[in-house]
């Protein structure tokens, strides 16, 4: 049975890729054919004449299923800005149907475990009518939420979790960044969030 999840962050500062890469590596060690996708990315450098995003390259490398970069990350922009802004500045239109088509095409490759990593936050705009969350809704995969423990972090996490569920998707769990454990009352913040979110904490990871 295939296991497929959508990775999102409570805000744009969460390092979703560290979690994605870690889970892909763990799946590969367990013998599962793992496949990671970064359907849209901003912030890229020219490598051998082609734009390449660092997060997408890490995801491609961590996947045990070998896909060309263009399938791992079909839409990439050089500017490190919000996807809607990057698309406008590049005179390109990004749509949910196009992203969904790219993802489902890649999923035709035999695999057992898939992670589709988002960009920015749950409601990151893609154009003037559609959001990244619409891609997740079209896929219907359970969602894993990456959370920062910082001022305002609990608010962001709770609002995002509520929106995911309101959008009709399963919140499979959440992951907290322990790179911030030196923050005052860090453990209290994690405990408070655990009592407020309906989903279980999966684990704590250092980003």
The residue ranges of every structural domain in the chain are 3-205
What's the pLDDT at 162? 94
Residue 72 buriedness (CB in 10 A; 0-12 / 13-18 / 19+): buried
CATH 3.10.580.10 fits domain 3-205: no
| Residue closest to 34 by CA, chosen among 1, 75, 66 | 66
Instruction: List, by residue number, the catalytic residues.
Output: 38
**pTM over 0.85, yes/no:** yes
pLDDT digits 0-9 by tens, 92-105: 999 999 999 999 99
At residue 190 the predicted structure's pLDDT band, cuts being 50, 70 and 90, is confident
Region 108-112: mean pLDDT is: 96
- The span from the CA of 19 to the CA of 23, in Å, is 6
> Which strand (E) or helix (H) includes residue 85?
helix 83-89
pLDDT confidence of 202, banded at 50, 70, 90?
low
Contacts of 143 (CB under 8 A, 6+ apart): 5, 6, 7, 8, 136, 164, 169, 170, 171, 172
Could you say which DSSP state residue 167 is in? T
Per-residue pLDDT band for 205 (boundaries 50, 70, 90) equals very low
What are the distances in angstroms from CA 34 to CA 76, 192, 193?
22, 33, 30
Q: Are 62 and 115 in contact (CB under 8 A)?
A: no
């Amino acid at each position: 049975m295939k296991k497929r999840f959508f990775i999102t962050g409570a805000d744009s500062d969460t390092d979703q890729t560290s979690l994605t890469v870690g889970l892909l590596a763990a799946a590969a060690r367990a013998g599962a054919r793992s496949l990671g996708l970064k359907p849209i990315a901003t912030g890229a450098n020219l490598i051998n004449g082609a734009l390449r995003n660092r997060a997408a390259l890490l995801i491609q490398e961590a996947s045990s299923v070998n896909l060309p970069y263009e399938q791992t990350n079909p839409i990439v922009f050089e500017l490190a800005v919000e996807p809607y802004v990057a698309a406008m500045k590049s005179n390109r239109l990004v749509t949910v149907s196009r992203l969904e088509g790219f993802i489902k095409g890649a999923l035709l490759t035999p695999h057992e475990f898939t992670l589709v990593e988002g960009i920015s936050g749950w409601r990151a705009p893609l154009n003037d009518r559609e959001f990244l969350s619409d891609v997740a809704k079209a896929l219907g995969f359970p969602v894993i939420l990456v959370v920062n423990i910082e001022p305002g972090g609990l608010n962001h996490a709770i609002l995002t979790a509520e929106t995911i569920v309101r959008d009709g998707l399963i919140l499979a769990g959440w992951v907290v960044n322990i790179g911030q454990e030196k923050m005052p009352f860090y453990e209290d913040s994690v405990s408070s969030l655990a009592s407020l979110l309906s989903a279980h904490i999966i684990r704590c990871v250092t980003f």
